[in-house]
Amino acid sequence: MADEPLVLGIETSCDETGVGIVRGTTLLADAIASSVDEHARFGGVVPEVASRAHLEAMVPTIERALKEAGVSARDLDGISVTAGPGLAGALLVGVSAAKAYAYALGKPLYGVNHLASHICVDQLEHGPLPEPTMALLVSGGHSSLLLSSDITSDVRPMGATIDDAAGEAFDKIARVLNLGFPGGPVIDRYAKEGDPRAIAFPRGLTGPRDAAYDFSFSGLKTAVARWIEAKRAAGEDVPVRDVAASFQEAVVDVLTRKAVRACRDEGVDHLMIGGGVAANSRLRVLAQERCEAAGITLRVPRPKLCTDNGAMVAALGAEMVARGRDASDWDLSADSSLPVTDPHVPGRSHAHGHSHSHDHVHEVSKGNLYS
Amino acid sequence: MLLLALDTATPAVTAALHDGTSVVAAHSQVDARRHGELLLPAVDRVLTEAGLRLDAVTGIVVGVGPGPYTGLRVGLMTADTFGLALGVPVYGLCTLDGLAYAAGGAAGIEGPFVVATDARRKEVYWARYADSRTRLTEPAVDRPGELDIGGLPAVGAGALLYPDTFPDAREPEHVSAASLASLAAERLAAGEEMEAPRPLYLRRPDAQVPKNYKVVTPK
Ligand SMILES: [Zn+2]
User: B66 and B119: one domain?
Assistant: no
Residue B73 lies in a domain: yes
Q: Any CB–CB contact under 8 A between B40 and chain A?
A: yes
- Chain A residues touching residue B217 (CB < 8 angstroms): 225-226, 229-230, 233
Evaluate whether residue B215 is within a structural domain: no
The pLDDT score that the predictor gives to residue B130 is 96
pLDDT in tens, A96-139: 999 999 999 999 999 999 999 999 999 999 999 999 999 999 98
pTM: 0.92
B18 falls within a domain = yes
Q: What is the enclosing helix (H) or strand (E) of B188?
A: helix B177-189
Q: Are residues B105 and B183 in the same domain?
A: no
d(CA A176, CA A230): 12
Element containing residue A257 per DSSP (H, E): helix A240-266
Consult the annotation and say whether A141 binds a ligand: yes
Ligand 1 centroid to Cα of residue A308, in Å, is 5
> What is the separation, in whole angstroms, between the first and last Cα of chain B?
72
Confidence of residue B207 (pLDDT cuts 50, 70, 90): low
Task: Assess contact for A158 and A147: CB atoms under 8 A.
Answer: yes
Is A113 annotated in a binding site? The answer is no
* pLDDT for the residue A44: 77
Dump pLDDT digits (tens) for B99-152: 999 998 777 898 899 999 999 999 999 999 999 999 999 999 999 999 999 999
Q: Is A39 annotated as a binding residue?
A: no
* B residues 85-114 closer than 8 Å to A (CB): 85-86
Q: Does B56 touch chain A (CB under 8 A)?
A: no
B184, B80: one domain: yes
Could you please report the per-residue DSSP string of B126-175?
A: EEEEEETTEE-S--EEE-GGG---TT--EESHHHHH-TTT-TTEES--S-
Same domain (yes/no): B109, B161: yes
8 A C-beta contact, residue B103 and residue B170 = yes
Q: Which residues of B touch A48 (CB under 8 A)?
A: 69, 205-207
pLDDT of residue A37: 81
B39 and B84 share one domain: yes
How far is C-alpha A364 from the chain's CA centre?
32
Q: How far, in Å, from the CA of A245 to the mean position of ligand 1?
A: 24
Residue B80 lies in a domain: yes
Cα(B151) to ligand 1 centroid in Å equals 53
In a domain, B201, yes or no: no
Of the candidates A149, A145, A96, A123, which has an alpha carbon nearest to the alpha carbon of residue A23?
A123
Has residue B70 been placed in a domain? yes
Distance B24 CA to ligand 1 centre (A): 44
| CATH at B66 | 3.30.420.40
In a shared domain, residues B9 and B87: yes
In this structure, are B118 and B24 located in the same domain?
no
Determine whether the annotation assigns residue A138 to a binding site.
yes
Give the pairing of strands B113-118 and B154-155.
Answer: parallel
Cβ proximity of B156 and B165 under 8 Å = no
A198 C-alpha to ligand 1 centroid (Å): 31
Pick the residue from chain B with its C-alpha nearest to A95: B36
Whether residue B208 is contained in a domain is answered as: no
- Candidate from A46, A62, A332 with C-beta closest to B84: A62
Taking phi first (over 0 means left), then psi (-120 to 50 degrees means alpha), and beta for anything else, what does residue A129 get? Answer: beta
pLDDT at A246: 98
A68/A72 Cα distance (integer angstroms): 11
| CB spacing of A331 vs B38 below 8 angstroms | yes
CA B3/CA A277 separation, integer angstroms: 47
Residue in A52, A55, A72 to test binding to B, most B beta-carbons within 10 Å = A55
Residue B199 within any structural domain of the chain: no
Q: Based on the domain organization, do B68 and B25 belong to the same domain?
A: yes
Structural domain including B18 reads 3-94+175-190
Residue of A nearest to B213 (CA): A176
**B130 and B64 housed in the same domain:** no
Tens-digit pLDDT string for chain A (371 aa)? 558 999 999 999 999 999 999 999 999 999 999 888 888 777 778 899 999 999 999 999 999 999 999 999 999 999 999 999 999 999 999 999 999 999 999 999 999 999 999 999 999 999 999 999 999 999 888 899 999 999 999 999 999 999 999 999 999 999 999 998 889 999 999 999 999 999 999 999 999 999 999 999 999 999 999 999 999 999 999 999 999 999 999 999 999 999 999 999 999 999 999 999 999 999 999 999 999 999 999 999 999 999 999 999 999 999 999 999 999 999 999 999 999 999 999 998 754 444 433 333 333 333 333 22
Q: Is A204 annotated to bind ligand?
A: no
Report yes or no: A140 and A167 within 8 Å, Cβ to Cβ: yes
B18 and B74 share one domain: yes
* Same domain for B88 and B12: yes
- What structural domains does chain A harbor? 6-125+306-323 (3.30.420.40), 133-300 (3.30.420.40)
Q: Is the pLDDT of residue B194 over 80?
A: yes
The total number of structural domains in chain B stands at: 2
* Residues B110 and B163 grouped into a single domain: yes
Complex ipTM more than 0.90, yes or no: yes
Asked if A104 lies within 8 A of B43 by C-beta distance, the reply is: no
Residue B49 sits at the chain A interface (C-beta within 8 Å): no
